[in-house]
Chain A
Amino acid sequence: MTTAMSDRPASGWSGATALTFLALAALTAAELKVAGLEGAGPGRATTLVGLLIVKVGLVLMLCLRADFRRRSAARLMLIALILAAGAAAVLMLEAAFQARVR
């Protein structure tokens, strides 16, 4: 545990964890709602990806709070996230290019 974590009362952390879990459950319910919408078009896929990113961010926050002890680990995660975002951008551009060629 980091100094900040050990200073904080355990009940506070349980409350924060429960709140995070409730937020994740609400986001999953929102995903199901969006997926069930008829005629929403391409906006539906974008909304689903947006909700997914928020969910992943929340879980990472949960992990970060519980398990990050060293700044180097946080940096490593940041690099991985930037690389992942870069790869996603390249794939999206490639998909857009392929769609235009067709």
Chain B
Amino acid sequence: MSQVTGTVAAPAAHGSSRVGVAGMWTFLATDAMGFGGLFIAYGVLRVRAEAWPDPRAHLGLALAAAMTFGLLASAFTMTQAARATASRARLGWLAATAGLGLAFLWGELAEYRRLWAAADPVRMNSGLYGGTFYALTGYHGLHVLAGVVCLLAVALRGARPRTLEVVALYWHFVDLAWMPIFTFLYLMPTR
């Protein structure tokens, strides 16, 4: 009897994993549209604006670069977590990923605080530049926060490989979404 149960349970578990991955891809496709809409709005507003502030005059490039390197490192640790065979190693890589995610969020908050306190402050209501900057970085920051919460929840529940695979997909997407934000908001020169 137990043998029968075992043979039935294995394909069912594999099937649920495939459903989880497919569900995550569907979610990412819809989420990518949200990011896409924000990027298109940013691009159109920037191209059509009479003047656009030089990003280097307001934004902290060194901090943003450190945040970018941290997020890239978290993609590496996440991949290692998803591929680790020992559960202890998995938890270690997961903790490193969550730590890097938290460091990223801390960096983002530090950047916001610096912008608010600057002599020429950049706030949500200080024109199109401030509005689009906070909308894009804030939207991405919420994704990082959700990712960190997911990582911690997965770690608390034992970090099962199948669940990790789905969370890894999400984390890579968050990493991917930051790349154009860094290029267009922080590095792209004004006309």
Residues of A within 8 A of B (CB): 10, 13-14, 17-18, 20-21, 24-25, 28, 31-32, 34-35, 44-45, 48-49, 51-52, 55-56, 59-60, 62-63, 66-67, 69-70, 73, 76, 80, 84, 87, 91, 95, 98
Contact = CB atoms under 8 A, between A and B. Distances in A.
B168 A67 contact: yes
Question: From DSSP, what is the main secondary structure of chain B's interface residues?
Answer: helix
A52 B183 contact: yes
Contacts, number: 97
B68 interface: yes
Nearest to A91: B43
Interface residues of B, number: 41
Given A18-B76, A63-B172, A73-B25, A28 B68 contact: yes
A28 B83 contact: no
B159 interface: no
Contacts of B189: 35, 44-45
Contacts of B165: 66-67
